[in-house]
Chains A and B, each alone.
Chain A
Amino acid sequence: MAVTGILMLLFLILHMAGNLKIFFGRDDFDSYAHWLRTIGSPVLHNAWFLWIQRFVLLVAIALHAVSAYQLSRRDLKARPEKYAHRLRPTASYATNTMRFGGIIIGLFVIYHILDLTALVANPNGVEGAAYDNVVADFSHWYIALAYIVAMLALCLHIAHGFWSAARTLGAVTSATRATAYKATAGVLAAVITLGFLAVPIAVMAGLVD
């Protein structure tokens, strides 16, 4: 969970930063999208890097989901008889919604690939016209809404996930470090989420069209 989670987190940071290029206009954004296909060339053939990266991410997602499934099954088996009086929860909302939030994010990723990678679910759906495709998406309030909900789920997932991963990897061995890691998790979650949300909000506000 921890290793694959951190791998995906690194990708998200780059993805979010790349998205912000939309604020520099259509040409900048489209040529950035095109450049992604040329990374590694001429050593690598056109779009090979992209496919390697997609493959790694896909494996990470699959392993993340399989471990989550195995862990959940194990946890359910560890408490066959439930409490009659609900356990008094003391953990945060983010912590308690990891499974549910993870499923929302997973479904969103599938939709997102169909929408902006495969272009089959995109209202515009023109290859190479990344900018117009994005704008076409967020001109529909329900697409924007789904996107925003998914990003908020992502925010919570990272807020618990980052620091939980750090703990799993043995990094948070004192209370002071715990505070530092928790703060880092919060900042990461906030920055990534705000970065992603900036795009639909800008489109809806007419700053990007």
Chain B
Amino acid sequence: MKLTLRIWRQSGPNAQGTLVDYVLDDVSPEMSFLEMLDVLNEKLILDGDIPVTFDHDCREGICGACGMVVNGAPHGPQTLTTTCQLHMRTFSDGDTIVIEPWRSAAFPVVKDLMVDRSAFDRIIQAGGYVSVTTGSAPEANTQLVPKPDADLAFENAECIGCGACVAACPNGSSMLFVSAKVSHLNVLPQGQPERESRVVGMVEQMDAEGFGGCTNTGECTNACPKGIPQASIARLNKEYLRASLTHRR
């Protein structure tokens, strides 16, 4: 396949960026999207150009590092798929593909397609954890978890912190990410000690990072590679209302 790639190039955090066109002549439909970028980078290096910087790690859809906006869709056109799991067969010969970094005040561009997502780390530090007693593992049946709760927690635990929800949201809101973490931990018995401080802390940190406000457009869920449901946002709101009434600082 012959493709034209229109890629955001920006040499550093404070540099002025711009879209640059590259033509790749024989892209195999079996390649993954990141392999296609690897091929481009090899070519750029051989030509003495600077390769395109993009974030990636696992390349199997579980680490959340590889986010980029492909033709206006975070992680590309295929639903429930990270960029690394996207294959070139989704595109056609002759296509022009526009590739941009996540756009969010809270995710500043580091270089080219790579953004700094440490805002998410700080949100996690503000409450996305549970207290555990270290030492020997407790007997498995001492803490019973009802099946529906376990399922709900697991569904939300699937969030890989990629930030596609923020990138897709017209308001640049990170509610889906925060709601996944709060839903995951607040429903489990292990999460009860921090139930209120977690939601209050995470929401306050989210606001402090400069994310936008949620208007329930649902773009986040539609872009999320893990299908975190919009219902989690309602649960976050519910937990937050509950905690604001009962939480002692």
Instruction: List chain B residues, Cβ under 8 A from A178.
Output: 230-231
Q: In the complex, are the beta carbons of B237 and A168 less than 8 A apart?
A: yes
Instruction: List chain A residues, Cβ under 8 A from B222.
Output: 90
A-B contact count (CB 8 A): 112
Give the complex CA separation of A178 and B230 in angstroms.
9
With an 8 A cutoff between CB atoms, is B92 at the interface?
A: no
Contact stretch, chosen from A51-59, A91-99, A135-143: A91-99
Give the complex CA separation of A169 and B214 in angstroms.
12
Contacts A85-B98, A88-B72, A91-B219 known; A78 to B171 CB distance under 8 Å?
A: yes
Beta-carbon nearest neighbor of B17 in chain A: A81
With an 8 A cutoff between CB atoms, is B56 at the interface?
A: no
With an 8 A cutoff between CB atoms, is A120 at the interface?
A: no
A82, A87, A160 interface centre (most CB from chain B within 10 Å): A87
CB distance from B117 to the nearest CB of A (A): 15
With an 8 A cutoff between CB atoms, is B210 at the interface?
A: yes
Contact stretch, chosen from A10-18, A31-39, A69-77, A187-195: A69-77
**B211-229 Cβ-contact flags toward A at 8 Å (1 or 0):** 1111111110010000001
Instruction: List chain A residues, Cβ under 8 A from B19.
Output: 84
Q: In the complex, are the beta carbons of A75 and B219 less than 8 A apart?
A: no
Q: In the complex, are the beta carbons of B234 and A71 less than 8 A apart?
A: no
Instruction: List chain A residues, Cβ under 8 A from B73.
Output: 87-88
Q: In the complex, are the beta carbons of B170 and A75 less than 8 A apart?
A: yes
Where the two chains meet, the residues of B that have a C-beta atom closer than 8 Å to any C-beta of A are 6, 8, 19, 69, 71-73, 77, 98, 100, 103-106, 168, 170-173, 210-219, 222, 229-231, 233-235, 237-242
